[in-house]
């Protein structure tokens, strides 16, 4: 089946530094990927939609200059949290739409970001 690999699974960084999270589709091409953020004991909140070869579309309230998304190939999307602060500590999860299946989504295993 379609597999999405997300890396790293855990990262701790100092306040003010930037962190990059990678999301790769291993056995399929993903023209569209999605980035979610999840705080403890809460639901997944969609941050942005990442489209290969074009600019990402951000949800309302998400700072695009802080959360940089790059989708340069059909198998890789990256999320960079710039100038991270403790309030950015969260669980970040990517998802990819599988091929032309408008209704098929598969998820990465998530990245636990802790900013100290």
Beta bridge partners of 73: 76
35 binds another protein (CB under 8 A): no
Q: Could you tell me which of 55, 77, 76, 58 has the C-alpha nearest to residue 67?
A: 58
Asked if 2 is part of the footprint of another protein (rule: CB under 8 A), the reply reads no
Q: Is 29 in the site for another protein (CB under 8 A)?
A: no
State the residue for tokens 């695009």. 64
Can residue 112 be called a binding residue for another protein (CB under 8 A)? yes
Cβ of residue 75: shortest distance to another protein, in angstroms?
Answer: 18
Cα angle 54-65-112, degrees, rounded to a multiple of 5: 95
Q: Which stretch binds another protein (CB under 8 A): 62-70, 71-79, 82-90, 92-100?
A: 92-100
| Residue of 17, 29, 83, 109 interacting with another protein (CB under 8 A) | 109
Matching residue, tokens 């950015």: 88
Burial class (CB in 10 A: 0-12, 13-18, 19+), 72: exposed
Residues that bind another protein (CB under 8 A): 6, 32, 34, 36, 41-46, 49, 91, 93, 95, 97, 102-103, 105-110, 112
């Amino acid at each position: 089946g379609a597999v999405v690999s997300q890396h790293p699974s855990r990262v701790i960084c100092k306040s003010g530094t930037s962190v990059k999270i990678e999301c790769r589709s291993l056995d399929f091409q993903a023209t569209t990927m999605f980035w979610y953020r999840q705080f403890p004991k809460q639901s997944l909140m969609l941050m942005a939609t990442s489209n290969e070869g074009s600019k990402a579309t951000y949800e309302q309230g998400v700072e695009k200059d802080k959360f940089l998304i790059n989708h340069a190939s059909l198998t890789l999307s990256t999320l960079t949290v710039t100038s991270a602060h403790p309030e950015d500590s969260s669980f970040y999860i990517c998802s990819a739409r599988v091929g032309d299946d408008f209704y098929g989504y598969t998820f990465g295993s998530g990245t636990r970001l802790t900013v100290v």
